[in-house]
Chains A and B, each alone.
Chain A
Amino acid sequence: MNLSMKWLNDYVKADMSIKDYCHALTMSGSKVEGYEIEGSNISNVVVGKILEKGQHENADALFVCQVDAGLEAPIQIVTNAKNVKEGDLVPVALDGAVLPEGKIKKGKLRGVESFGMFCGLETLGLTPNDFPYADPDGVLVIEEDCKIGEDIHSALGLDDTSVEFEITSNRPDCLSVTGLARETGATFRLPVNIPAPSFNGVDGDINEMLKVDIHNTEKCQRYCAGIVKNVKIEPSPRWMRERLRASGVRPINNFVDITNYVMLEYGQPMHAFDLRYVEGAHINVRNAVNGEKIVTLDGVERELTEDMLVIADSVKPVAVAGVMGGEYSGIMEDTTTVVFESAYFEPTQVRRTSKALKLKSDASMRYEKGVDRLISMTCLERAFQLVEQLGAGEVVRTVIDKDYTDKTPASVEFDAEWINDFLGTYIPEEDMINYLEMLGFKVENNMAYAPSFRIDIECKADIAEEVARIYGYDKIPSTEFRGVAEAELTQEQKFLRSLENNMVALGGYGIATFSFISPKHFDKLNLPADSKLRNPITIINPLGEDTSIMRTSILPSMLEILSTNYNNRNESAKLYEIGKEYIPNPENKLPDEPDRLAIGMYGDDTDFYDIKGITETLLVKMGIKDVEYVRACECDAFDEAVSFHPGRSAVVMKDGIALGIFGEVHPTVQENYGIGTKTYIGKFNIPEMRKCADTEITYQPLPKFPASTRDLSVICDDSIPVAELEKAIKGAVGKILEKVTLFDVYKGQQIEEGKKSVSYSITMRSHEGTLTDEQADGAMKKVLKALSAIGAELRM
């Protein structure tokens, strides 16, 4: 909403500085986005009278003028303007003048001195709508009442200030000059005077000229109509054009301008029909018939449904009620009789119709927020007053008023003590009543009655807000609220924090990615057509395909970021993300949103054992011990297994629960993501990890007796996983085993093709006494036997 300060001053004397004004209104609830002083980019331009106009001696297209610009002597100006003649008043930019396009300096044009420049509309930042009589391409020949030498701002009315407000959706009444006048009055404790409009009119019975019937009085609660005869369609006067311009509305002609003027002034949309096009001179406000069509003012044919409301004549719809008029409903050059409509349409009705038709207008936006339901007649009268003031036609004195509105004001209990308790203030009751009355409320017998333009008053808290904002939020004291409360992270939250801290300690950098992705990722991940991951939650109105589904796997997000980094020429990356996946749950109307940890890395000679090392350390730190690693391709726990190199990926299992998958990215997938180096990723299911984590720590006494260590190298088939050897060793040593450490795996010279040599260091310890050599050797014999049983023989 743009407010003309000149217009505002018709109703309330707001003569404080514009900065103070804007600040105070912002602080009382009408947020000011900014203000613009009209013509502030113009200076040293005055009204000049052309005394003489002659041909330039050296140029056919130029003229030399002597101009009285109110200075001691006439000045000489060279111009190419053909549309000016001696005696004309024109805007003269003097030497040193500032215009929107730049500065003006005196100089010589083809050898003749020129001490200034004549200005056209465009030069002054104006349009033909502002001065319809002006030649749009020539110099502006001023037809205003002004003096020679007068500053152009006052001569042309470029001296208004326009304030831009951001009005919240609960206060549609402030989308009008009178609404903001009331706010201004209450904010500055100034009297506001909005006179009731009046008009003279000519004799005539409207009922002989027009008939109005409302067929749906719930959706259209009031319809006021009046007639203007013998109209003269012409541009509206300057003062009206100026105010429209300052309000951001383009002047068109006197009748259109009057409807816009009243709408800006009172917030009530109005419509002007040409009576010729109202067939049967009968206005019917009714529901549309399914399939009924209307071509709206914007030239689009629209099909209507029966839940929409139309303004129809006796044959066809002429307007969509509260939304937009029909093609022939408006005012034309040859219109002779105008019907003004001022009506109240129910907000939800307008909103639904506007949404269904995908058609918004200034009127629909006001109606759907809610206009003052009692103001229709006042606005019609105001329009008539303006018609008479502009001499635009003859107003028929009688009017039609079909009124089905409920006149009961909204009322809420007024309890000053409750308000003070609720706000934490000590505002005297008289002050509260005073604030409310300035805002148009009536306070009687402990009840507050809202004015009809306030559609937002429903409960005690609403009254408290009115009091608080006029009192001043800044004056409300600040207190720390009382009561002791203890807060701590839940076990889940602690687990997540520990997880992120451990990932950081392991060298990972946290990332944040979008939860929605492109369905193209399913193919990029190599997922088969029947993968359950291909069944995502889909957004029905996405920004684009790239963000159209909720991810069913966190891995594509990670791969995309690895790809970005690779393509940004970062040599290495080590990333992690703790984020959600979104999995449809057929048993629940809402999907599951399980937490996941993703890990991704490349560069720095990273290989499979780096990401495995991270996994191992992380799991131990998170309290998860004794896990098993199985080949990802032989395990159906994760659909993403197909995105990994089948020979270099593993699933982590703990007591039959799959905790995560990690390994090298499948070469095809790596290529699909445009990553030109070996890349390693992993995904871990956080709820499952938590389930398997033993976070209770109990101190284990340090050993009292020394350990015995034996080293051992065995030769076995290359195909035997070392985990099997380890399992055999653990089983054979039994209780006295402290740890088994693999320290070498060797293939090559001296070892038969297809075999490998594996070396272990086995540490044994008893808590009862020092182990004897016999005990240790005995255990080692069992180890060799157990290893031999699975095809691993001692290396000689």
Chain B
Amino acid sequence: MKEQLKKIEELAVSELSSCTEIKALDDLRIKYLGKKGELTAILKQMGKLSAEERPVIGQLANKVRADIEEALSNKLTSLKASAQAEQIAKESIDITLPGKKQTIGNLHPLTIVENEIKDIFMGMGFNIADGPEIDDDYHVFEALNLPPDHPARDTQDTFYITDNILLRTQTSSVQVHVMENQKPPIRIISPGRVYRSDAVDATHSPIFHQIEGLVVDKGITMSDLKGTLETLMKKIYGNDCKLRFRPHHFPFTEPSCEVDISCYMCGGKGCPVCKGEGFIELLGAGMVHPKVLENCGIDSNVYSGFAFGLGLERMVTARYDISDMRLLYENDMRFLKQF
């Protein structure tokens, strides 16, 4: 019987080693280990053995069973591995083929930059105020210290709806609306469309966007104006940018300034972009004119404030190096997809 058991083991191992399919493994398991299998058949004859022989043969038979089981299991693992390897090899594809089209659009570049600026200002405590684009002369000019015969009105070529109703030429009109309806402290920005009768070319458009800022409180100084704008521009243009404050004139601020930023092309050395000056004109600003405060019912002896206005288009064209402003309003898909 010992010989029979050993023979079964040998046979099983040799048949296993030549087996190449997972399905055939099952057949082998049944053949050797099944209820009607060869090992079972031998064990059925155990009763005929002597009492001395039975435990020895029994032990041997268990060992043979365990060995075959282990061999089966090892074989299964190796067959599975090779089957998977084969499958993986078969499934290999050209990963350089293009992916399936998923579509996500994007914001218009004007919106991207506008949102960015809004978020920076909100981080500095500025709320966002809206105002009408079509407004009356009082809010756009008169309350802003531009009386009817003021020469500065000439520089703002205005579109009129009636003698008194017009398309706002500046978002500064929102300052007036806000101050009429809100007591200081005031800290707002107001982004929006403005209109001037400039013919369309690479750097002009009859419609463009401004972002107006206004702060009114007790003890606001020109130093605060400088500090705020420097913080803002560092956030937008990076810590290396430098600002230059130049005296200027706006009827609604006093003192007024124009703010230039170190040229983004040459960093201030002078190049064709900045016309050799090293600086590019960025925005207008100033301390809110006492007359404007008084016009809006705010006591200029108690409160002071500053205001500024920046042109969005100029920031967008500078940011993305867009040479022609018309592209922003032409909205060609090939342009829009780049942002």
Contact = CB atoms under 8 A, between A and B. Distances in A.
B44 to A, nearest CB: 50
B129 to A, nearest CB: 9
Interface in A385-414: none
A324 B323 CA distance: 43
Contacts, number: 228
B159 A503 contact: no
Contact of B105 (A497, A504, A550): A504
Contacts of B228: 480-481
A580 B255 CA distance: 35
A459 to B, nearest CB: 5
B249 A168 contact: yes
B318 interface: no
Interface stretch (B33-41, B55-63, B85-93, B329-337): B329-337
A417 to B, nearest CB: 13
Given A483-B217, A539-B160, A509 B333 contact: yes
B155 interface: yes
A508 interface: yes
Interface stretch (B8-16, B18-26, B75-83, B119-127): B119-127
Given A461-B255, A539-B167, A575-B331, A422 B125 contact: no
B206 A500 contact: no
Interface stretch (A290-298, A512-520, A627-635): A512-520
A17 interface: no
B247 A465 contact: yes
A500 B336 CA distance: 15
B245 A474 contact: yes
Interface stretch (B46-54, B261-269, B287-295): B287-295
A314 interface: no
Interface string A506-531: 11111111111000000000000000
A461 B290 contact: yes
B313 to A, nearest CB: 10
B197 interface: yes
Nearest to A571: B333
B96 to A, nearest CB: 24
B170 to A, nearest CB: 15
B167 to A, nearest CB: 7
Contacts of A423: 221-223, 255
B127 A487 contact: yes
A421 B219 contact: yes
Interface in B173-196: 185, 187, 193, 195
Interface residues of B, number: 79
B224 A500 contact: no
A410 to B, nearest CB: 14
Interface string A561-577: 10011001010111110
A493 B248 contact: no
Contacts of B197: 541-543
A567 to B, nearest CB: 10
A506 B107 CA distance: 12
Given A423-B222, A550-B134, A591-B134, A459 B330 contact: no
Contacts of A462: 254
B133 to A, nearest CB: 6
Interface stretch (A23-31, A138-146, A766-774): A23-31
B329 A580 contact: no
Interface string A23-57: 00011110100000000000000000000000000
Interface of A: 26-29, 31, 168-171, 347-348, 351-352, 368-369, 421-425, 459-462, 464-465, 468-469, 473-474, 476-490, 493, 497, 500, 503-516, 537-543, 547, 550, 561, 564-565, 568, 570, 572-576, 580, 582, 589-591, 593
13 contacts: A29-B247, A170-B251, A347-B149, A468-B255, A487-B125, A500-B107, A504-B106, A511-B336, A515-B195, A540-B162, A541-B160, A568-B332, A590-B135
Given A29-B246, A473-B245, A500-B111, 8 more contacts: A351-B149, A422-B221, A483-B217, A510-B336, A512-B331, A540-B161, A561-B331, A568-B333
- A-B complex: 6 closest residue pairs judged by Cβ atoms: A424-B223, A485-B125, A424-B221, A29-B247, A465-B255, A507-B103
